Chain A
Amino acid sequence: MKQPNKEMWISAQDLRNEPEILEAARREFPETSVMEELAVDDQMARLETSRRDFLKFLGFSLGAATVAASCEIPIKKAIPYVVKPDAIVPGVAAYYASAILDGGDIVPVLVKTREGRPIKVEGNALSPLTKGGTSARAQAAVLSLYDTYRLQGPGKVANGKVTASDWASIDKSIRESLAAGGSARLLSRTVLSPSGRAAINEFIAKYPGTVWIQYDPISASGLLDAQQATYGIRAIPSYHFDKAKTIVSFGADFLGTWISPVEYANAYAAGRKIKDTANAQMSRHYQVESFISMTGSNADHRIIIKPSEQGAAIALLYNEIAKAKGAASVSAPEINAKASASLKKAAGQLVAQSGQSLVVSGSNNPAEQILIVRINELLGNVGTTVTLNDHSLQRQGNDKDLKQLVADMAGGNINTLIVLDGNPAFDSAYSVAFSQALAKVKTRISCNINLDETGALCDFVTPANHNLESWGDAQPKADQVYLLQPTIAPLFKSRQWEESLLLWAESPNLSATSDQPYYDYVKAVWQREFFARQSAFATFNSFWDNGLHDGVLTLSAPSFSGVSSVDTALISEGISKPSNGDEIVFFESINMGAGQFANNPWLQEMPDPVTRCVWGNYLFVPLTWEGGNSYTYFKGLKDGDIVKVDINGVSRSATIVHQFGLAPGTYAIALGYGRRVAGTAGLGIGTDVQEWLSSDTNGYATYYSGDVTIGEKTGSDKEFACVQHHHTMGVTGKDTKSGKTINVDEKTIATIGEGYQGSLVNRSVIFQGNLADVKQLGEKIVRKREEFQFLNDKTLYPSYDDVYAMGHHWGMHIDLSACIGCGACSVACIAENNVPVVGKREVFRHHEMTWLRIDRYFYGELENPNVVYQPMMCQHCDNAPCENVCPVSATNHSSEGLNQMAYNRCIGTRYCANNCPYKVRRFNWLDYTKADLFPANEPRLTNEETPFGADNLTRMVLNPDVTVRSRGVMEKCSFCVQRIQEGKLTAKKEGRLLRDGDVKSACMTACPTGAITFGDFNNKESQLNKNLESPLVYQVLEEVNTRPSVNYQAKVLNRDASLES
């Protein structure tokens, strides 16, 4: 068959003439190259990518990627001084004597400045008041200086908002208001400054009718008025805790917060350190209180009373002593039997040690305080442990005056109110009434450095300088005056209130032409008042220079011979009456004071010594045990549960934490939290309890309430931040089933079964004992250590003792009997070593970064345990478990026995932290220091806009000698290696050997009680080696053979055996 179309064909499709075939036939070579297809013109079609082109492209892409990926690095210019100021040598610190002043609290210090920035304070060892001790609050003061929340200049306030203004116009408005007449009032916390007083007097002279009122947020009015009533002088006597053999304190937290805690702590520890076990002596301390305060935690005996029983307890003690001394008794209501029996024993001991005992009370009830005065008089303590000629001026506030002021304000009688210092709308017992009455005052001025609750209600804010930017002086005691000098020019347009007052008073004594007019003013006051009262210096200039150098001037104490003449029977009516029902105590916390430190994250994150909680105030509720594997919790609530608390009809939410040692039906909560107007670090942190404060009929603030209802659980704090959940080193209780006395904690830490008895108390972590058995304790420790060392000698590995025997070998000694748990060392360490603050959530996750923590262990009876504090930092083990496990050798040992960290080398395996028996290594889980390249992982402390520390102002507090660690690296205590280096360099420059005491770690210098001694093991004369001679010295976990360089001295109490139940 012939095909009609074709003679030849290649397929059926071809035969059918399908379009594809035709198209294919038309284009014989249908495939064109890709290049040709894509080419716009011929030239492009000929392009080929040669190997050389490929390299060009590669080079270009790499370059482009590099440019695109790398951030532009800002050029920071360092400009050298043209004329270098004498005082500033780059890299060398300059120290200036000054004092950290906070109302009536004073800590004389040397301020360390680097390149003109104050970065750290050290205690001023020349001060007879504190003898070089400091407090956590003083240590944290440098951070408050660089607070971003500070007012940057004067302003007008409307509806709580500040509108910035300038000094000239504000001054004009204020002068006009003052000149308009009417009654003016000045309100301040205790003013210790003689120059400040002079300024106030000039102001009052200019505007007659002005009244100056002082108040203390935590009032000591009762104490002052009692002194006034008995001795005719409204001042607090000097208490000599070092000279007292028996100390009874009724709720006075004299080691933590009461009047002059650094001074008292120093003296108290002096009376309790054990030098020689063969002939050991120490004071015996009874603390009569309702919850474990820091002072109570250090006491030999805590006598538990309800807060309302305090007056009756004082009266009971008075009667016992009066009976022994043949004096008239007062009527004393009954108190709980156990406390009554204990107090009678205490009374016996007080009488036996007449003239060598001391009774104090934190009560704000003058009647109770008069009884205390009488007790000390009957015991013959006045003149020995209680002296009046060198009386303290550290509290001068008057509750009655404040009450009168509030009444005057409410009556519309006040034209102008100037709040020089303090935040009475928040921190006084009259905060609510004050806030309301303030509206009736025509012109209201606040001189606080921050905008606070008071400032927000004022018309003008005229911010004062920070302490470290100010000239000034302070007279905390009749015979001591301190000079304050600025260590940096004011960062903002602030002006200290003394200067403002003088300007408003148009004082002729304030030089209009001077650069620093208030400096001249202080100088003039000193010339007038103090130059004449000394004889050491012939010219005022040398006197003044010496004052600036030493920071302290000791005057001869005025003689005083006051005779008490008060009929105690009359005042016994005034003492508080015991009541039934639940009660709550409001106390001043060690870190937050009355709330003035709310903006300071170092203090917010400083754990409460006893509860170990941070970032807030927690309602203490009691904890009991009734057998079984858990404690019996108050109302079945767990730590961190939130409850409603009703007091005097005001309802607030509070987070609970369980506590040992509370009186039955008694709760406690700290003051100073729940700030309503504050920086982000403090705003709304914790529960505002200020509104719950009340006053008695005479106007005295009372710090407890008998009208409290704890409601049901309303929720729970998802970020309950507590650094040490666990309670004890063995609290004992009676097992209901077996009737045996067992270690309750060892049982309750087991989920199943009876617990492993002895598993906690037999650890070689804490050694403690009683004074009566101190010799046996020493022998026990020595025996144990011999046993450990025998085992440790069996090591297969060579030791490097010969290496450590050369040069320096750094070590430390910590006396647990002297450590009171105040936390000054911990905050000092933060300041010295740039330790980051991590915020509440991160602490809740146990991510706190503190290099030095203070472990708190309870021991003894479950109902009323004792407490031991153990500062714990890197032990600088000479056989360190952390070192050999690091794969990259980032942590290693120096020839001087230091365990050191090479941060740059650390990759963060965390193996070292796991293998550390002391758990002192701290890992940068997130970018806590804001040192990372990208800001994605900077945790917020609260919900602030810029993370804390990310701004240049806050960073000014950083110590330039210490590396800021980035995320992902491990860090820990370095034994202040930068200080060691500085000491060695100084010695080298001076061409001498390093002497003992040349190098002191930050914790050592901060300690108010001298519990920490740092030194060189190889210096046989060193204080460290002297301290190590005591048989009470041990090493924590010595049997692990880590060979730590930190040595602890056992905790010794002086308990009365007849008081043991």
Chain B
Amino acid sequence: MHTPISPVRLPLIEGNKSYHNITEDLCTPTEKAPGLAWITAFLVSVIVMTFGLFSIAWTVWFGIGSWNLNRTIGWGYDITNFVWWIGIGHAGTLISAILLLFRQKWRTGVNRAAEAMTIFAVMCAGLFPAIHTGRPWFDFFMFPYPNTRGPLWVNFNSPLLWDIFAISTYFTVSLLFWYTGLVPDFATVRDRASGFRKKVYNFLSFGWTGSAKHWQRWESLSLILAGLATPLVLSVHTIVSFDFATSVIPGWHTTIFPPYFVAGAIFSGFAMVQTLMIMTRKILNLEQYITVNHIESMNKVILLTGTIVGVAYLTELFIAWYSGYIYEQFAFFNRAFGIYWWAYFGMMACNVLSPQIFWIKKIRRSIFWTFLMSIFVNIGMWFERFVIIATTLARDYLPSSWSYYTPTWVEIGIYVGSLGIFFTLYLAFTRVAPVVAIAEVKHILKTAGDQYVGPKAVHTLKEEVHNENAH
């Protein structure tokens, strides 16, 4: 007897899972004691995070002078890291919102973790604008709250203010979306739990009973949030790019920045999803949920966005030449051949050239190559932001003020620390919530008329076949 697998539409979940199997597989990590790999990773993350927090405290106590920024280069690691983290966040929203609207069912295998990544990445990103100010204790000046100083309002012309709105909106919508998805899953965990855990998960699941009305509302809410989140995928990084595009500094002042930044954000976000997923599926034994097909699909996105980014780089160069504007021409000439040439070529190699190997299907489906490339892309995209920020500022209009920038240990500490914060949160997340959306995966388990419950369930049939063969 054959298993009912459609040759046209391959199953998105491998291993002939039953609904019960899915519940078991995905809830278990939240229920049993963590393994050695998790404990080690968590300890390392917490230590790195602590160092990062120490570096932040150092910065606040001693002042921005503990960084190596100077009169010419006012932003360095801080804003580079900010843009990098914001970019990373984009993949989660793209996967959960845009792919939901496009009815890309494979997204369900990765969307939960990707959304978590978004939340944590945006938290890390938000950290940098907050601590990069000279007087962080007055950061609240940036919010338009009613006050007795006139009232004195914020400057609505400033892209930094738009950032505040864009990022806070983005964070709120992403968090809601993520949590909405978690509600039925928390209920599943609750139903299996007992004692105190049950109470906690009961609270977290908002008393979800799984009634048809609940599901209906849940579906509607998900769609609405997806609709809200979709423009955010495009708008957030567009606005982040305005930080540069609306300035007068050659190399920043370019109209190509919004699409180019968005493509770059999705590019780096998917790379980070790959990094995380490859590790997660291995450690939590989720290979049958997060399959090679997922990895291949995401590699295709990486290939596409990487190529878009490459075209943007070339367009920038062309426009600089075509503009006839000497400052812009020099800015781009300097990026490639000036003091920071290594950053530019690092960026080009990692972002444009190396993803081209994904034209080869074998590499696209290779775990090793995917993991390697995801790291490359993350490095490349970091370089991109560094090139845009530091290289441009280092040599702008007046040669008298040109300078050079290398970070201090404090700046490196905060950057590494932000990675620590990110991984600490992510690792904690894998212990608390199902890493794959249980409810959503169950939706897509059935691709044809196959059965997963009752005596004709696929796994039962398989067992029968097995028994027959044994006889």
- The chain A residues found within 8 Å of chain B, CB to CB, are 724-726, 728-729, 749-753, 755-756, 758-760, 762-763, 765, 842, 845-848, 853, 855-857, 870, 872, 881, 884-889, 905-911, 913-915, 917-919, 921-927, 936-937, 939, 967-970, 1036-1037, 1040, 1042
Is B11 part of the binding interface, using a Cβ–Cβ cutoff of 8 Å? Answer: no
Stretch among B101-109, B244-252, B278-286, B306-314 lining the A interface: B244-252
A945 to B165 CA separation, bound complex (whole angstroms): 47
**Which of B75, B136, B160, B337 gathers the greatest number of chain A CB atoms within 10 Å?**
B337
Binary CB contact string for chain B from 164 to 199 against chain A (1 if under 8 A, 0 otherwise) = 100000000000000000000000000000000000
**Which of B74, B136, B152, B164 gathers the greatest number of chain A CB atoms within 10 Å?**
B74
Binary CB contact string for chain B from 38 to 70 against chain A (1 if under 8 A, 0 otherwise) = 000000000000000000000001111100111
Residues on B with C-beta less than 8 A from A927 are 63
* Interchain Cβ contacts under 8 Å between A and B, 28 examples: A726-B399, A729-B399, A751-B338, A752-B337, A755-B337, A763-B397, A765-B399, A842-B65, A846-B403, A881-B247, A885-B158, A885-B160, A886-B160, A907-B134, A909-B133, A910-B74, A910-B132, A911-B158, A911-B243, A914-B74, A915-B248, A917-B248, A917-B249, A919-B401, A923-B134, A939-B65, A968-B135, A970-B134
Closest 3 CB pairs of A and B: A908-B134, A968-B134, A925-B65
Residues on B with C-beta less than 8 A from A967 are 63, 65, 134-135
**Which of B61, B136, B327 gathers the greatest number of chain A CB atoms within 10 Å?**
B327
Complex contact B63–A925 (CB within 8 A): yes
Contact flag A756-B333 (CB < 8 Å), given A846-B71, A915-B249 = yes
Residues on A with C-beta less than 8 A from B68 are 845
Residues on A with C-beta less than 8 A from B249 are 914-915, 917
Complex contact B158–A887 (CB within 8 A): yes
Is B375 part of the binding interface, using a Cβ–Cβ cutoff of 8 Å? Answer: no
Chain A proximity of B190: nearest CB distance (Å): 30
Contact flag A913-B141 (CB < 8 Å), given A763-B326, A908-B135, A1042-B248 = no
Q: Determine which of A751, A755, A857 lies in contact with B400 in the assembled complex, contact meaning CB atoms within 8 Å.
A: A857
Q: Determine which of A726, A872, A911, A937 lies in contact with B62 in the assembled complex, contact meaning CB atoms within 8 Å.
A: A937
A87 to B336 CA separation, bound complex (whole angstroms): 65
Is B322 part of the binding interface, using a Cβ–Cβ cutoff of 8 Å? Answer: no
Q: Determine which of B71, B152, B341, B401 lies in contact with A889 in the assembled complex, contact meaning CB atoms within 8 Å.
A: B152
A749 to B340 CA separation, bound complex (whole angstroms): 11
Complex contact A759–B71 (CB within 8 A): no
A886 to B399 CA separation, bound complex (whole angstroms): 25
Residues on A with C-beta less than 8 A from B327 are 763
Chain B proximity of A580: nearest CB distance (Å): 38
A909 to B129 CA separation, bound complex (whole angstroms): 8
Complex contact B63–A926 (CB within 8 A): yes
Contact flag A855-B71 (CB < 8 Å), given A885-B247, A937-B62 = no
A887 to B133 CA separation, bound complex (whole angstroms): 11
**Which of B134, B157, B326 gathers the greatest number of chain A CB atoms within 10 Å?**
B134
Complex contact A762–B326 (CB within 8 A): yes
A870 to B339 CA separation, bound complex (whole angstroms): 25
Add 17 more A-B contacts to A752-B337, A755-B337, A1042-B248 (CB < 8 A). Answer: A749-B338, A760-B399, A763-B326, A763-B327, A856-B400, A870-B400, A872-B400, A884-B157, A908-B134, A908-B135, A914-B249, A914-B393, A915-B247, A918-B398, A923-B71, A937-B65, A939-B65
Complex contact A759–B326 (CB within 8 A): yes
**Nearest chain A residue, comparing its CB with the CB of B155:** A889
A364 to B133 CA separation, bound complex (whole angstroms): 56
Is B154 part of the binding interface, using a Cβ–Cβ cutoff of 8 Å? Answer: yes
**Nearest chain A residue, comparing its CB with the CB of B402:** A726
A925 to B66 CA separation, bound complex (whole angstroms): 8
Chain A proximity of B415: nearest CB distance (Å): 18
Complex contact B337–A889 (CB within 8 A): no
Residues on A with C-beta less than 8 A from B402 are 725-726
Complex contact B158–A968 (CB within 8 A): no
Residues on B with C-beta less than 8 A from A847 are 65, 70-71
Contact flag A889-B153 (CB < 8 Å), given A729-B399, A907-B135 = yes
**Nearest chain B residue, comparing its CB with the CB of A880:** B248
Chain A proximity of B156: nearest CB distance (Å): 9
A350 to B381 CA separation, bound complex (whole angstroms): 66
Residues on A with C-beta less than 8 A from B205 are none
Residues on A with C-beta less than 8 A from B161 are 887
Complex contact A765–B155 (CB within 8 A): no
Complex contact B64–A923 (CB within 8 A): yes
Complex contact A911–B337 (CB within 8 A): no
A908 to B63 CA separation, bound complex (whole angstroms): 11
Complex contact B154–A751 (CB within 8 A): no
A907 to B330 CA separation, bound complex (whole angstroms): 32
A936 to B153 CA separation, bound complex (whole angstroms): 33
Complex contact A913–B74 (CB within 8 A): yes
Q: B276-330: which residues lie under 8 A (CB-CB) from chain A? A: 326-327, 329-330
**Nearest chain A residue, comparing its CB with the CB of B72:** A919
Complex contact A751–B134 (CB within 8 A): no
A925 to B67 CA separation, bound complex (whole angstroms): 9
Contact flag A908-B133 (CB < 8 Å), given A759-B330, A856-B400 = yes
Contact flag A910-B326 (CB < 8 Å), given A936-B62, A968-B135 = no
Chain A proximity of B241: nearest CB distance (Å): 14
Complex contact A753–B64 (CB within 8 A): no
A494 to B101 CA separation, bound complex (whole angstroms): 86
Residues on A with C-beta less than 8 A from B247 are 881, 885, 914-915
Is B372 part of the binding interface, using a Cβ–Cβ cutoff of 8 Å? Answer: no
Complex contact B397–A917 (CB within 8 A): yes
Chain A proximity of B386: nearest CB distance (Å): 15
A724 to B403 CA separation, bound complex (whole angstroms): 8
Is B349 part of the binding interface, using a Cβ–Cβ cutoff of 8 Å? Answer: no
Is B259 part of the binding interface, using a Cβ–Cβ cutoff of 8 Å? Answer: no
A368 to B153 CA separation, bound complex (whole angstroms): 71
Q: Determine which of A884, A910, A926, A1037 lies in contact with B65 in the assembled complex, contact meaning CB atoms within 8 Å.
A: A926
A847 to B403 CA separation, bound complex (whole angstroms): 11
Residues on B with C-beta less than 8 A from A969 are 134-135
**Which of B133, B249, B398 gathers the greatest number of chain A CB atoms within 10 Å?**
B398
Binary CB contact string for chain B from 121 to 146 against chain A (1 if under 8 A, 0 otherwise) = 00000000100111110110110000
A919 to B134 CA separation, bound complex (whole angstroms): 18
A750 to B329 CA separation, bound complex (whole angstroms): 13
**Nearest chain B residue, comparing its CB with the CB of A902:** B152
Complex contact A907–B65 (CB within 8 A): no
Q: Determine which of A872, A939, A968 lies in contact with B64 in the assembled complex, contact meaning CB atoms within 8 Å.
A: A968
Is B346 part of the binding interface, using a Cβ–Cβ cutoff of 8 Å? Answer: no
A622 to B454 CA separation, bound complex (whole angstroms): 92
Residues on A with C-beta less than 8 A from B129 are 909
Binary CB contact string for chain B from 339 to 352 against chain A (1 if under 8 A, 0 otherwise) = 10100000000000
Residues on A with C-beta less than 8 A from B139 are 907
Chain B proximity of A43: nearest CB distance (Å): 36
Complex contact A905–B152 (CB within 8 A): yes
**Nearest chain B residue, comparing its CB with the CB of A917:** B397
Is B29 part of the binding interface, using a Cβ–Cβ cutoff of 8 Å? Answer: no
Q: Determine which of A906, A919, A923, A924 lies in contact with B396 in the assembled complex, contact meaning CB atoms within 8 Å.
A: A919
**Nearest chain A residue, comparing its CB with the CB of B140:** A907
**Nearest chain A residue, comparing its CB with the CB of B158:** A887
Q: B400-423: which residues lie under 8 A (CB-CB) from chain A? A: 400-403
Residues on B with C-beta less than 8 A from A917 are 248-249, 396-398
**Nearest chain A residue, comparing its CB with the CB of B331:** A759
Residues on A with C-beta less than 8 A from B243 are 911
Contact flag A756-B142 (CB < 8 Å), given A751-B341, A925-B65, A968-B134 = no
Q: Determine which of B71, B74, B142, B403 lies in contact with A888 in the assembled complex, contact meaning CB atoms within 8 Å.
A: B142
Residues on B with C-beta less than 8 A from A857 are 399-400
Residues on A with C-beta less than 8 A from B248 are 881, 915, 917, 1040, 1042
Residues on B with C-beta less than 8 A from A759 are 326, 329-330, 333
A728 to B400 CA separation, bound complex (whole angstroms): 8
A887 to B164 CA separation, bound complex (whole angstroms): 10
Chain A proximity of B337: nearest CB distance (Å): 4
**Which of B132, B341, B397 gathers the greatest number of chain A CB atoms within 10 Å?**
B397
